[in-house]
Amino acid sequence: MARNDLTAEYQALKTEIHYHNYRYHVLNDPVISDAEFDLKLKRLDALEAEHPEWITPDSPSQRAGAEPLEQFTKVAHPAPILSLSNAFNEQDLYDWHARITRLEERAGGADFVVEPKLDGLTVVLHYRNGDFVQGATRGNGEVGEDITENLRTVKALPLHIPVVHDGPTVPNELVVRGEVLITKADFEALNRRLVEQGQKTYLNPRNTAAGSLRQLDSRITAQRPLTLLVYAIVDYEGGAIPTTQWGILEFLRALGFPVSSDSCYCRTLDEAVQRCLETDPNAFPFEVDGMVVKINDLVLSAQLGVVGKDPRGAIAFKFPAQEVTTQLNDIGVNVGRTGVITPYAILEPVEIGGVIVKQATLHNFDFIQEKDIRVGDRVLVKRAGEVIPYVIGPIVDVRTGAEVPFSVPHNCPSCGEPIVNPEGEVAYYCTNSACPAQLVRNLEHFVSREAMGIVGLGIIIVEQLIGADLVHDIADLYRLTKDELLNLEGFADKKAENLLMAIAVSKSQPLERLITGLGIRGVGEVAAQALAKHFADLDMLGASSQSEIETIEGFGPNIASSVVEWFHSHENQVILAKLKESGVWPQAESRSATGDQPLAGLTFVITGTLPTLSRSAAKQLIESKGGKVTGSISGNTDFLLLGADPGSKLDQARQRGVETLSEEALQQLIKDRLE
């Protein structure tokens, strides 16, 4: 290629990469995939390697991120917040090691730390005398945005260190680097709540986390399920820190910072490479797009220096892209438990990350209109971890003219009744409360972990119960008999007994869990907790007025009206009467009454799968009886609640001499301490 053509290509690449950096880091609205961006960056690096004289300070290779938003105060970082060069296969890792070994012979015998490459928003956290005083985004690597007040709402962030009383000495000044993110489970729960409330859902956890931290009103940030993982020390003064990366992670953990448990120490590069190759990106509770391989010796890593914006002592091993293009053959619609009608894509089957995908979510009807998605389009589809595959948008440039615009249906596909779109809402609803599709979803929600936590009652059994005409509403679950269950395919004595026991155990769930399970439009877990604090039982809640409910913090006229309408419905009054008759009528617990807190002063950790209680239900039971539940074994742990297939917590408990309890023994402990 002629030099002039190469120069033009290089300048165009710089412009494109700057634009996509802006879309990703500032607007949180990328228009190309990570894989496509990586290819552009790789081509830029190749051109600059051939023509180093072309490199200027404004090249994307010379800085990380993007300029800070003007709405926020700018913060100068005490040291550059660098990004990483990429490796896409095994050979790239060995080539990286060979390069740094030529520069510094000692790198040939180095040991390594391999950490997940977190897909969130990088933050820089400043502590003075143990107190959190400032937090900023990465920005352009030199200057970031001050988001201190928003970060204070992230519960995983320590407002003061040491969090652990027997931890190491804290430097007078400490600046750490981490990633704010949203777990996949929390992201799905957030979108479910938004669907219930008739609001727009979010596309992915990374953009949601980034957008949440850039809110000018920190009260909005506080409503998002943000968490934090810390992995580096940027600067410190007045103290000592470890000189290895593995030591840094242990040091940060000992100070009380949240640190990923998925990092590992590797004695050789071969071990590090094997770790990268064997890692399943779907196994993480949060989104990752690769693994980071770091030289463990931080002194050696610093001596290797930086090339452009990339430190030579670390490299990112990128997982294969989980985005593909395929044909959109049709658009179908589902009916949710509250009657919400949601569209989904029917695709030409395509493999994404080793899984054949035939369907994907389209979020809502507004999304289809905004993206101008048409039946017959070539569409870009993403499958991120265990999250349901979703359509990102159409590939407009390859349209033939045969594509057909989509129209929102006028009638419910399950019962044929009219579909309505309430003013001010994104969602469309089926107006028929007796819609068969809604019954399946209602029951599925009622038995879920977030609600009544009935273990072993999944959607397949729910459909069996409805198909056998045994269940017509949620209250009928408590009238099931063993003989009825034994008539269903796949049920024997033990399975029937276990299910009936799980249903019986659910009667002891607290009031907020039952309110969650009722499936009132707009009332998720948080709203249910607020209602349970305000009303002693469902009788009092059902007798309340809209104006009274609106006095509760967080309840506006729409949700308050929804609650009143639900309790005034004749069909729902019948359900409530049946629940009460079956003994499913919890009273709001008085947590100040010491007699109701037999577990007061005791700390529990839960591991494994319990016979009848979900983990969240077990946690709720312990806390309702005055106990405390933590996530890890420590010197303060009194009991390990032990289920089947326990993890490493059992070994830790044995090492520390912590007593283990079965679910049955926990119930007996509560009973004994009440007597």
Tens digit of each residue's pLDDT (9 = 90 or more) over 338-387: 788 999 999 999 887 667 889 999 988 999 998 999 999 999 898 764 45
Angle of the 615-624 helix axis to the 663-674 helix axis, nearest 10: 10
Residues 544 and 660 in one domain: no
Distance CA 345, CA 361 (A): 6
DSSP annotation of 64 reads -
Q: Find the CATH number of the domain harbouring 309.
A: 3.30.470.30
Q: Find the CATH number of the domain harbouring 627.
A: 3.40.50.10190
- At 63 the pLDDT is 47
Q: Out of 474-478, 603-607, 622-626, which region has the weakest mean confidence (pLDDT)?
A: 622-626
Residues 458 and 570 in one domain: yes
Residues 115 and 245 in one domain: yes
Tens digit of each residue's pLDDT (9 = 90 or more) over 191-246: 888 877 777 777 678 878 888 887 777 777 778 899 999 999 999 998 899 999 99
Average confidence (pLDDT) over 522-540: 88
Average confidence (pLDDT) over 537-549: 91
Distances (CA, A) of 484 to 394, 446, 479, 493, 504: 49, 21, 10, 11, 16
Given a cut of 50, whether residue 26 has pLDDT beyond it is no
Q: Do 345 and 362 meet the contact criterion of CB atoms below 8 Å apart?
A: yes
Distance CA 456, CA 532 (A): 27
Position 356 in a domain: yes
Q: Which of 492, 502, 498, 489 is nearest to 460 (CA)?
A: 489
- At 589 the pLDDT is 57
Residues 169 and 302 in one domain: yes
Considering 14, 40, 42, 117, which one is annotated as catalytic? 117
- Say whether 318 is catalytic: no
Q: How many CB atoms lie within 10 A of CB 645?
A: 8
Cα dihedral 506/507/512/517 (nearest 10): 60
Looking up tokens 């969602």, which residue turns up? 427
Q: Out of 76-85, 199-208, 494-503, which region has the weakest mean confidence (pLDDT)?
A: 199-208
Average confidence (pLDDT) over 48-64: 74
Q: Find the CATH number of the domain harbouring 353.
A: 2.40.50.140
Given a cut of 50, whether residue 595 has pLDDT beyond it is no
Q: Find the CATH number of the domain harbouring 475.
A: 1.10.150.20
Confidence of residue 593 (pLDDT cuts 50, 70, 90): very low
**pLDDT above 90 covers what percent of the chain?**
41
Position 431 in a domain: no
**pLDDT above 70 covers what percent of the chain?**
93
Average confidence (pLDDT) over 640-657: 84
Q: Find the CATH number of the domain harbouring 34.
A: 1.10.287.610
Where does residue 175 rank: exposed (0-12), middle (13-18), buried (19+ CB within 10 A)? buried
Tens digit of each residue's pLDDT (9 = 90 or more) over 451-493: 999 988 988 999 899 889 999 999 999 999 999 999 999 999 9
- At 626 the pLDDT is 81
Tens digit of each residue's pLDDT (9 = 90 or more) over 285-295: 888 889 999 99
Given a cut of 70, whether residue 499 has pLDDT beyond it is yes
Decide which of 376 and 557 is more confident: 376
Residues 627 and 669 in one domain: yes
Tens digit of each residue's pLDDT (9 = 90 or more) over 347-358: 999 887 667 889
Position 81 in a domain: no
How many residues are listed for the chain in this entry? 675
Count of structural domains within the chain: 5
Query: Which sign, positive or negative, has the C-alpha torsion 54, 57, 61, 66?
Result: negative
Which residue(s) pair with 420 in the sheet?
429
Residues 601 and 564 in one domain: no
Given a cut of 70, whether residue 21 has pLDDT beyond it is no
Position 270 in a domain: yes
Residues 138 and 248 in one domain: yes
Domain ends where: 376, 402, 428?
Answer: 402
Q: How many CB atoms lie within 10 A of CB 621?
A: 24
Which residue(s) pair with 174 in the sheet?
127, 236
- At 649 the pLDDT is 83
Residues 308 and 223 in one domain: yes
Token reading at 443? 């029951």
Cis omega (within 30 of 0) for bond into 436: no
How far, in whole angstroms, is CA 576 from its chain's centroid?
34
- At 221 the pLDDT is 78
Q: Is 202 helix (H, G, I), strand (E, B) or coil?
A: coil
Residues 649 and 540 in one domain: no
Position 70 in a domain: no
Average confidence (pLDDT) over 276-304: 91
Query: Which sign, positive or negative, has the C-alpha torsion 33, 34, 37, 43?
Result: negative
Given a cut of 50, whether residue 35 has pLDDT beyond it is yes
| Half-sphere CA count of 569, side-chain side, radius 13 A | 15
DSSP annotation of 57 reads T
In the β-sheet with 288-295, what is the strand arrangement from edge to edge?
A: 86-87, 314-318, 288-295, 112-118, 264-266
Decide which of 496 and 627 is more confident: 496
Kindly calculate the radius of gyration of the chain based on its CA atoms and give it in whole angstroms. 28
Distance CA 247, CA 546 (A): 57
Decide which of 645 and 335 is more confident: 335
Token reading at 3? 């030099």
Domain ends where: 302, 318, 334?
Answer: 318
Position 207 in a domain: yes
Given a cut of 60, whether residue 316 has pLDDT beyond it is yes
Given a cut of 90, whether residue 256 has pLDDT beyond it is no
Given a cut of 80, whether residue 104 has pLDDT beyond it is yes
Residues 150 and 274 in one domain: yes
- At 24 the pLDDT is 63
**Residue type (1 letter), 129:** N
Given a cut of 50, whether residue 54 has pLDDT beyond it is yes
Domain ends where: 520, 550, 581?
Answer: 581
- At 580 the pLDDT is 94
Tell me the residue range of the domain where 452 lies: 436-581
Given a cut of 70, whether residue 22 has pLDDT beyond it is no
For the question of whether the overall pTM of this predicted structure is more than 0.75, the answer is: no
Residue 151 Rama label (left phi>0; alpha psi -120 to 50; beta): alpha
Token reading at 387? 């999250």
Position 370 in a domain: yes
Given a cut of 70, whether residue 418 has pLDDT beyond it is yes
- At 531 the pLDDT is 92
Distances (CA, A) of 120 to 102, 115, 294, 407, 432: 34, 14, 19, 35, 41
- At 570 the pLDDT is 86
Average pLDDT of the chain is 86
Position 410 in a domain: no
Decide which of 596 and 26 is more confident: 596
Residues 397 and 440 in one domain: no
Given a cut of 70, whether residue 165 has pLDDT beyond it is no
Token reading at 669? 């402990």
Residues 567 and 602 in one domain: no
